[in-house]
Amino acid sequence: MEIKRICVLGAGAMGHGIAQVCAQAGYDVSLRDIEDKFVQGGIDRIRKFLDGSVERKKMTREKADATLSRIKGYVDLKEAARDVDLVIEAIIENMEIKKATFKELDALCPAHTIFASNTSYQCVTEIAAATKRPDKFLGMHWFNPPPIMRGVEVIKGEKTSQETLDIIVDLCHKLGKQPGVCKDSPGFIVNRLLQPWRNESFRLYDEGVASFQDIDKALKTAYNFRMGPFELGDLVGLEIAIVGNETMYRELKSDVFKPARCHIMKVRAGDWGRKTGQGFYEYGK
């Protein structure tokens, strides 16, 4: 099966970037969110990114215009999902909402359509079980920001067929990304390793060992990391990161994943990071 049309659900931090990567590679993309202002917000961010690329002479104006022309925005799920070969879901990190969305899509999409979830922490096999096509369901875990980051984790659920996996691995290459295949396990590869590192950094801050700025600085200067754990938490979204802590703490029964106090309080205060203008750092509007 050849993928030609792709539907991306959610035009937020990840969805708009995923839509851009797909359109840049020549695919027709329908970008869907629950309100028109979110759809337009996502398209505006894509336009801004492309304009910046043209200004920096990283892309021609023709390529930028062609990319944008391949992306159509939708609020109506039925319209967005019509005749697509692949759906990539990047909506909020909530198991019940993801399951309900895929159940609805299962009735709307053609039988051949492959479903991929960009979930960071939820069980891909469990989301797939909400559909009648678990063989055509898998995880496609992108990294933030999608147009820049090179890797995509491809997660094989318990019932994902080899054919589905092969199609998506091939698609990753066509999108200019490096696929990393793994089994369905809490946090997959990258977040399983990232979580203990970030969590221990948050605990250092809770214990008053150092300021969060100094912890970020220490790791960046010692290891040449591009971002420290607090900066990264703000970029990812602290409300998403804490779902990871809670899920992995529950599933793996290890205290290394137990959410740190400062993390819990930031989430409760609504200071989720860049997307709210305030996380550990302040970003303004």
Ligand X SMILES: NC(=O)c1ccc[n+]([C@@H]2O[C@H](COP(=O)([O-])OP(=O)(O)OC[C@H]3O[C@@H](n4cnc5c(N)ncnc54)[C@H](O)[C@@H]3O)[C@@H](O)[C@H]2O)c1
The active-site residue out of 30, 53, 120, 201 is 120
Task: Give the C-alpha distances (Å, rounded to integers) separating 236 from 13, 39, 207, 230.
Answer: 8, 20, 23, 10
Is the Cβ of residue 24 or residue 191 nearer to ligand X in the bound state?
Answer: 191
Residue 153 annotated in active site: yes
Question: Shortest Cβ distance from residue 55 to ligand X (Å)?
Answer: 25
Which contacts qualify for 166-172: CB closer than 8 Å, 24 or more apart?
167/1, 167/3, 167/114, 168/86, 168/114, 168/116, 168/138, 168/140, 171/3, 171/86
DSSP 273: B
Cβ count within 10 A of residue 12: 17
Query: Shortest Cβ contact with ligand X: which residue?
Result: 12
Residue 16 is a catalytic residue: no
The nearest distance, CB 28 to ligand X, in angstroms, is 19
User: Least distance (Å) from ligand X to the CB of residue 57?
Assistant: 28
Which of 141, 199, 201, 231 is the catalytic position?
A: 141
Please report, as ranges, the residues that interact with ligand X according to CB under 6 A.
9-15, 32-34, 38, 90-93, 97, 101, 118-120, 141-142, 144, 236-237, 240, 275
Nearest to 80 by CA among 88, 41, 99, 50: 88
Q: Which of 89, 93, 153, 231 is catalytic?
A: 153
Q: How far is the CB of 208 from ligand X (least distance, A)?
A: 28
Distance of closest approach, residue 44 Cβ to ligand X, in angstroms: 13
Burial of 254 (0-12, 13-18, 19+ CB in 10 A): exposed
Residue of 30, 118, 191, 199 marked catalytic? 191
From the number of C-beta atoms within 10 Å of its C-beta (0-12, 13-18, 19+), residue 171 rates as buried
Complex with ligand X: residue 42 or 134, whichever CB lies closer: 42
Cβ distance to ligand X smaller for residue 134 or 273? 273
191 belongs to the catalytic site: yes
Q: Rounded CA gap, 162 and 274, in Å? A: 38
Q: Decide whether 56 or 150 has the Cβ nearer to ligand X.
A: 150
Sign of the CA dihedral running 265, 193, 143, 86: negative
Q: What is the nearest approach in angstroms of ligand X to the Cβ of residue 60?
A: 28
Q: Which is nearer to ligand X, 36 or 61 (CB)?
A: 36
To the query of whether residue 161 is one of the catalytic residues in this protein, the response is no
Residue 56 one-letter amino acid: R
Question: Which residues is 151 bridged to in the sheet?
Answer: 178
Closest to ligand X by CB, 105 vs 204, is: 105
Half-sphere exposure of residue 90: CA atoms within 13 angstroms, side-chain side: 27
- Amino acid identity of 5? R
- Active site positions, annotated: 120, 141, 153, 191
